[in-house]
Each structure stands twice: as structure tokens, then as C-alpha cells.
Amino acid sequence: MFKRPPLLSAASAADFLHLQSASVEFRKVSKNYGETSVLREIDLTIAAGEVVAICGPSGSGKSTLIRLINQLETLSDGDIFIDGKSTRALNNRTLRRLRSRIGFVFQQFNLYAHLTAEQNITLSLTHVHGWKREAAHQQALALLARVGLADKAQHYPAQLSGGQQQRVAIARALASSPQIILFDEPTSALDPEMIGEVLQVMKDLAHSGITMIVVTHEMQFAREIADRVVFIDGGAILEQAAPAQFFRSPQHPRARRFLQKVLDPLHAGAES
């Protein structure tokens, strides 16, 4: 009897369920808001397990770039391949599966104020990922211990410092054991003395196998932890290099100017 051949178009839900390694590849990705072009033909390949720091001036398109990966924004043109598979035109079920493989940490933590640290984590596991209550509880406690907050499980966000809240948010992003974690300026809403504890958690996570893409102004993180720095300005990647090279001798004049401003704001001048 004639058998219909499998469809080769959009990736199936099962593909993202069994995601093993997690490379991310942008191919000619563009994003427009109406008439405004925000990202222009971005080509960027990130290897599974790699730690990439994305930096660039305000408004250059950094947040948009990483929000496209888990489709918090829809792309206007091009395609993003995850684990070698196209992520265009996914059905709802496949998109949910893909998102469960990707953690996202926001600048403003985005914790639920009426839930404890533990509940912020278990809620996502039981409601989004279909875990049983007891397994979710155990996972939440293990994750809170991993970010150094074993004793804060029953605290509400208002009872936690900014640094502690952000560590809960990181634990929540790790809850479903994602293969990719995206950070959008995770320390820029924090008081200076709390930045270190969050960076330490990120440092412990780096090179553990998870693919890490971090939008950051923390040049120390970029310099010491990232495998690669990607510099973006005006919606285009102007330079990418190993941190040692990028910080020692940035090639693009705009990258040089940006670094001068970030590293030595008093003497960088007003010109942008």
C-alpha cells in the first residue's frame, strides 16, 4: 500500500523534546518594527555549550536579538536554527516544547510577588512543564540550594534582596533543565554590592554544558567568563572576537569607542 512520506517542512514537536546539544544559528535574520529596521541580516553561529556575551550601546538591538530565540518577538526575515533545526512556522505545541528547552532571565527578575521563592519555581514546573507536585518541590529546593538560597525557599520576593531575587529567577529559568539560557542584562537593576553574587551563580553555570547567551554591560563577566564577545551596534554585528582580543585591541572604531565609554566613562567624551 502507498505510504505518505513524512513532511520535511517545520520541525516536529519531538525534535525539540529530544534536543541534546543546543547550538543556535542565526541566518540572515532581520527584524523590523513597522518601518523601523532594528536588526539587519544577522548571521551568528553559537556552538552548543558556548558562553557568548553580547554587548553594544543602548538601542542597538541586543534584547531584540535574544528575544527572537525563544520567539518573545517574531522575526521579519531569515531563520534561527536550534540544534540544526529551523524554528520558523512552528505549531503551538512545538513552540511550547522549544521554549521549555530555553530559560530566560530578565533584567527585572519578573518573579510573582504573591508566591514564595519555592512556589515561583514549582508553578512553572507543574503548570507549564507538567511535573507532579512532589517532584517539582524537590527540584525547586535543589535549584535554590544550587544558587545558594536553600534557606530562603519560603520567602516572598519582597523579603529578598535584589540579588537574591535574581538568583531565584535564575533557579526558575533552570527548572526544566534547559539546554539554552538567555540573560538580558541580569545585573543592571542591582545595587553594586549585589552584582557579584549573581555573577558568581552565572560563573558556576558557565561551561557546565548549557549554552549561555548573555546581554551584559558587565565587562568583567565578558572578559573572564565568556568564550566570545559579540559587539552589536545599529542592528548589525560589527565585531566578534575572543574576550582577550576584543578587550586588548577592538578592531571596529565603534567597538573602540564603546569600550572606552564603558571602561573609562569620565574620559570618553560626549561624542557617540
Ligand X SMILES: Nc1ncnc2c1ncn2[C@@H]1O[C@H](COP(=O)(O)OP(=O)(O)OP(=O)(O)O)[C@@H](O)[C@H]1O
Query: What are the grid coordinates assigned to 204, written together?
Result: 558556576
| 187 touches Mg ion by CB under 5 A | no
Could you tell me where the DSSP H helices lie in 71-207? 92-100, 117-123, 133-146, 162-173, 192-205
Count the alpha carbons within 13 Å of 183 in the hemisphere toward its beta carbon.
Answer: 35
| 63 touches Mg ion by CB under 5 A | yes
Query: What are the grid coordinates assigned to 15, written together?
Result: 525534535
Least distance (Å) from Mg ion to the CB of residue 221? Answer: 16
Binding partner at 33 among Mg ion, ligand X, none, C-beta below 5 to 8 Å by kind: ligand X
Binding partner at 208 among ligand X, Mg ion, none, C-beta below 5 to 8 Å by kind: none
Binding partner at 61 among ligand X, Mg ion, none, C-beta below 5 to 8 Å by kind: ligand X
| CB nearer to ligand X: pick between 10 and 236 | 236
Least distance (Å) from ligand X to the CB of residue 117? Answer: 27
Number of CB atoms found within 10 A of residue 204's CB: 12
* C-alpha span between 184 and 166 (Å, rounded): 12
* C-alpha span between 122 and 241 (Å, rounded): 39
| CB nearer to Mg ion: pick between 140 and 229 | 229
State the residue number with the nearest CB to Mg ion: 63
| CB nearer to ligand X: pick between 131 and 221 | 221
- Write the CA distances from 100 to 6, 106, 205, integer angstroms: 25, 16, 18
Over its C-alpha atoms, the chain yields an Rg (Å, rounded) of 20
Name the residues that contact ligand X, by CB under 6 A: 33, 36, 38, 56, 58-64
Query: What are the grid coordinates assigned to 95, written together?
Result: 513552540
Instruction: Indicate the SS3 state at residue 6.
Output: coil
Where does residue 130 fall: left (phi above 0), alpha (psi -120 to 50 degrees), or beta otherwise? left
Least distance (Å) from ligand X to the CB of residue 53? Answer: 13
String of DSSP letters for 110-122: ---TTS-HHHHHH
Binding partner at 209 among Mg ion, ligand X, none, C-beta below 5 to 8 Å by kind: none
| 60 touches Mg ion by CB under 5 A | no
| CB nearer to Mg ion: pick between 62 and 152 | 62
Binding partner at 60 among ligand X, Mg ion, none, C-beta below 5 to 8 Å by kind: ligand X
Least distance (Å) from ligand X to the CB of residue 121? Answer: 26
| CB nearer to Mg ion: pick between 73 and 79 | 73
| CB nearer to ligand X: pick between 42 and 171 | 42
Q: Give the footprint of Mg ion on this chain (CB under 5 A).
A: 63
